[in-house]
Amino acid sequence: MPNGNGHARPLLPQRQIRYLTPQELTRLRQHAEARALQAREKRTVGPVRAWALLDTLLSSGLRASEAAALRVGDCLLGYGQASLVVRQGKGSKSREVFIPDALKRHLKGFLAWKEARGEDVSDEAQLFTGKRGPLTRHGVWRAIKGLLAAVGLDPRYAVHSLRHTYATALYRASGRDLEIIQEQLGHASIKTTTIYARVTKEDKLRAANALAKAYQDAQRKGQSGAKWPKRAPASAGAVSAIVANP
């Protein structure tokens, strides 16, 4: 498109997002859960809290500041409920984020563990705490960076990479439904959410292999001009299985 001087405007580079591969996600989750189980046996607290925090981030897509601000009463875990209430997200907006059953069970167990330790689990009590009190945004960052480093993942990954990982998995599981992603992530504009609609590297490889197979099948049948294989969209409910077991 020309600018005011009649010259074409240079194309802006597309924003790149970093998200974990299914293999990296599995390594990270298995490591964090194993450390938490060992910590329970040794009666230490850090790894138990870190695993609950990691699972929450990966299964809800919350921002670091939103996770740090969670209170016990924000966890709606009763019969027929499975969600987290973000009181003040970006732009001071509140929203309800639906979570998979696996995270619901984890958080109920986490709260029972906190109560057994004598910690405050009243509605206004902070969900995630550290050695010096309520966990801060920086505390979330430090805990997640420690887990990422422990399994040797790319040092460029950060807490926000977990949000991108969640959103990418949810986008695929929902049948490419951007409105679901927008509501879960709390984006004010759908334009922000379209970053997840770009074709990922895994999608490219999957599509290239599918096309090659289609051509091979057509050749065996003596046909030509094989059609691009169709892909049935996954149901929105499949996200819990993808996030928990990539």
Known catalytic residues are 63, 90, 160, 163, 187, 196
Helix (H, G, I), strand (E, B) or coil at 126: strand
Helix (H, G, I), strand (E, B) or coil at 15: coil
Residues 165 and 25 sit within 8 Å (Cβ to Cβ) = yes
Spatial CB neighbours of 244, under 8 Å, sequence gap ≥ 6: 29, 59, 100, 102, 103
Spatial CB neighbours of 243, under 8 Å, sequence gap ≥ 6: 58, 59, 100, 166, 169, 170
CA dihedral 191, 90, 52, 121 (to 10 degrees): -150
Q: What's the token pair of residue 127?
A: 């969900």
Residues 59 and 107 sit within 8 Å (Cβ to Cβ) = no
d(C-alpha 84, C-alpha 195), whole Å: 24
Kindly state the DSSP code that residue 122 receives in the 8-state scheme.
Answer: S
201 sits in the region (left: phi over 0; alpha: psi -120 to 50; else beta) called alpha
Give me the helices (H) in 21-69, please: 22-42, 46-60, 64-68
d(C-alpha 84, C-alpha 71), whole Å: 10
Q: What's the token pair of residue 114?
A: 């906190």
